[in-house]
């Protein structure tokens, strides 16, 4: 069972639908017991960093997420869900993130010919043998929607990057924590393969 955390931040049903297509059982929930008893956990998200953190705290899901990570449950953050795993974001100054991973969430800089937000398909440069990308070729295109991007503190946790006027750390992995800035559930067959690889994480 995969728990999809519901904290009023949207995009839940598309993730649920993608998992169902893959034959994976899932539940959309904010119930502490359901989340902690699940085999794996997904934190999706679209919207603003500060508002999302407010919602996580309102439902005390920040504590549940910390506990789940401490228990080494395979955990996947998607889009805003990736950003929330870090210390904070330039989008919402002074708002503390979950502090699970180290790095900065920065605004994509203005550049000639580059529209912000970054919306659409972009290719990935794969590195450091990420488990989410097993069976996925270098240069695979995936779907992005974001105005802020991750610059991880340690390059070793970065498993995929993309270029959009700046190098975007598009996916990270540390222990049982995984995250993608792009939307695997909207990234066609290769995105579904990313979700399938996560669903198999931790299995022998």
φ/ψ of residue 150, rounded to 5: -90, 135
Q: Are strands 148-152 and 103-107 parallel, antiparallel or unpaired?
A: antiparallel
Say whether 79 is catalytic: yes
| Catalytic member of 79, 118, 169, 180 | 79
| Beta-carbon count within 10 A of 78 CB | 27
SS3 assignment, position 145: strand
| 39 cis-preceded (ω within 30 degrees of 0) | no
Token duo for residue 70: 């401490």
Instruction: Give kind and range of the element (H or E) at residue 68.
Output: helix 61-70
Say whether 180 is catalytic: no
Q: Name residue, tokens 């970065």.
A: 158
Residues 77/91, Cβ–Cβ less than 8 Å: no
Could you tell me how far CA 171 lies from the centroid of its own chain? Answer: 8
Say whether 138 is catalytic: no
φ/ψ of residue 81, rounded to 5: -60, -30
| Catalytic member of 16, 91, 173, 185 | 185
Which positions are annotated as active-site residues?
Answer: 79, 183, 185
């Amino acid at each position: 069972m995969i728990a999809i955390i519901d904290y009023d931040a949207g995009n839940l049903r598309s993730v649920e639908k993608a998992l169902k297509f893959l034959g994976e059982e899932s539940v959309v929930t904010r119930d502490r017991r359901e989340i902690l008893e699940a085999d794996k956990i997904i934190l999706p998200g679209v919207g603003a960093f500060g508002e999302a953190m407010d919602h996580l705290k309102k439902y005390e899901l920040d504590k549940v997420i910390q506990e789940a990570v401490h228990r080494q449950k395979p955990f996947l953050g998607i889009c805003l869900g990736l950003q929330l795993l870090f210390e904070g974001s330039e989008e919402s100054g002074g708002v503390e993130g979950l502090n699970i991973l180290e790095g900065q969430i920065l605004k994509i800089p203005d550049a000639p010919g580059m529209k912000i937000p970054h919306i659409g398909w972009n290719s990935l440069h794969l590195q450091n043998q990420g488990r989410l990308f097993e069976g996925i070729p270098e240069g695979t295109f995936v779907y992005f929607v974001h105005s802020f991007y991750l610059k991880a503190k340690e390059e070793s946790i970065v498993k995929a990057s993309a270029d959009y006027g700046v190098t975007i750390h598009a996916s990270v992995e540390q222990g049982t924590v995984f995250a993608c800035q792009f939307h695997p559930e909207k990234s066609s067959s290769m995105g579904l393969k990313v979700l399938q690889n996560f669903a198999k994480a931790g299995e022998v």
